[in-house]
Structure 1
């Protein structure tokens, strides 16, 4: 128990003292697609919501619903639909965000080691050009980036450790954002007219700690997300312009606490915040902290 309390205090201390901002275009949200379904039940439904604080004074409430299906001992798939409400000085804008569909293949376990691989898609519900009273909004207020993205990843399970790596590649860009900072009356958000975003690569390490009665599981983890290039937008002259400093590394710390109500129901609380951020984050995905609450039912 002392070990568990030490981990919790350490992670929370980092969270409080280093809250600056993070970036996640969906690649952090597919973690369940990595993990093999070890439950006897074949179906799992998850309902949850995420609370977060972003750039300037923007706050977020982002509920979602997920469904996972175990087809056999090797194959499974998971899906998720997201919704987002952003509130700030521009006003409040809410809309459906993205749909995720992830397939997973689990290899035969050997010597306490098990590999799995995944592939999937993110499909946007908007073209990232939602407006309030006819005024264009920065990407911080958009519920989606408007891109169709491909996910490819692999996962290694070794005893209490879990490591996964993945890439998120925008394959088709339907972003029609029309926000210009110069016409907005504020410098809080960069111009993102017809925004084009580069790919992301992720590496995550997770350690699981179970209590003796196996009711609680604590999963501190750290994520390294590298943005593989500088994003661009189209300026007022119709020329594509690079956003300097929008590439580079983000490091996020996260603590997940799960409680098993019984064999088929559980709840999960997660708290995340960044340690390292990119110089420029025009995609509007910056968060000083993220608090998530989730209910899971298997059948």
Structure 2
């Protein structure tokens, strides 16, 4: 079992070196525990779970991205559970280094007949999406958060070894980002007052290998960005009108693999990796990544 896990880790690191992908999803909801795929957790046994994890990847324009998160899940009874997750992000590239708190996710989950789970949640930004260096707003790929409040609703269903999830994520506010591309550097898209549109997310997962200690769950993750994002065109600091960002609507499709190894009854580590199959032409939110490798420690009590 340990050899299998080692092969997965080495394989994921190799692919991460060679591939370009969006990562999980535009605004992070599909990385929440209720939507990862695999068997529903915390339906029996310990009522609490704490997870601490980190990730590493190469982003757009060779930006190095390092992320971290802390997540807590509490099972109230056989039907209800609640969760909270906070993130931290650090992005470094040719324009500078930006690090800070990312977002807080809060969710409530209702399980029905061990096959269905319904989730309502929200994403609360912990920074405004407009971090500046030397007085200038940094492009979105450098920002630790989009700076946007979101509402999240999802449903998950399990049938034998197959897990299906559908998520809708609706932005409720605009970003405070004020970056406008210049005529001398057109590398990054303009995102002044970015108005991000909603995502509809589908995941299909399959329990490929499952024992008491090790489970391996590959999945397909499709993210439909429902409309073109917009930004506010400005001249000499004066806002004029909203402009659509061509190519920002459409489908992102990833192949993912998740491996969970329980080295003790109440402790385990989880490895996640994603591989791109299709991406949108334009990603104004800056969430394009070289394939992110995420490692997480879980403790149940």
Unaligned runs of 5+ in 2: none
Rounded to whole Å, the distance in 2 between the matches of 1:196 and 1:248 is 16
Residues 298 and 8 from structure 1, CA distance in 2 versus in 1: closer, same or farther, beyond 3 angstroms? closer
Unaligned runs of 5+ in 1: none
Rounded to whole Å, the distance in 2 between the matches of 1:171 and 1:16 is 33
RMSD: 2.3
Give CA deviations for 1:41-61 in whole Å, capped at 9, x if unaligned.
Answer: 000000000112111111111
State TM-score, norm by structure 1: 0.90
Q: What are the residue-to-residue correspondences of 1:63-142 with 2, within 5 Å?
A: 63-109=68-114, 114-142=115-143
Indicate the residue corresponding to 2:230 in structure 1.
Answer: 232
| Residue 192 in structure 1 maps to residue 169 in structure 2 | no
Specify the SS of the correspondent of 2:20.
coil
Deviation at 1:95, TM superposition (A): 0.4
Give CA deviations for 1:100-155 in whole Å, capped at 9, x if unaligned.
Answer: 0011000014xxxx111100000001111001122210110111111110111100
Tell me if the contact between 2:192 and 2:233 (Cα under 8 Å) persists in the aligned partners: yes
Rounded to whole Å, the distance in 1 between the matches of 2:241 and 2:26 is 27
Residues 98 and 12 from structure 1, CA distance in 2 versus in 1: closer, same or farther, beyond 3 angstroms? closer
| Residue 182 in structure 1 maps to residue 182 in structure 2 | yes
Specify the SS of the correspondent of 1:126.
coil
Residues 215 and 290 from structure 1, CA distance in 2 versus in 1: closer, same or farther, beyond 3 angstroms? same
Q: What are the residue-to-residue correspondences of 1:188-267 with 2, within 5 Å?
A: 188-212=187-211, 214-237=212-235, 238-267=240-269
Indicate the residue corresponding to 2:21 in structure 1.
Answer: 21
Rounded to whole Å, the distance in 1 between the matches of 2:112 and 2:14 is 36
Give CA deviations for 1:138-197 in whole Å, capped at 9, x if unaligned.
Answer: 110111111110111100011111110010001233x111111116x4222111111110
Rounded to whole Å, the distance in 2 between the matches of 1:266 and 1:156 is 24
Count of residues in Structure 1 that have an aligned counterpart in Structure 2: 288
Tell me if the contact between 2:148 and 2:172 (Cα under 8 Å) persists in the aligned partners: yes
Residues 40 and 13 from structure 1, CA distance in 2 versus in 1: closer, same or farther, beyond 3 angstroms? closer
Rounded to whole Å, the distance in 1 between the matches of 2:83 and 2:62 is 34
Residues 257 and 76 from structure 1, CA distance in 2 versus in 1: closer, same or farther, beyond 3 angstroms? same
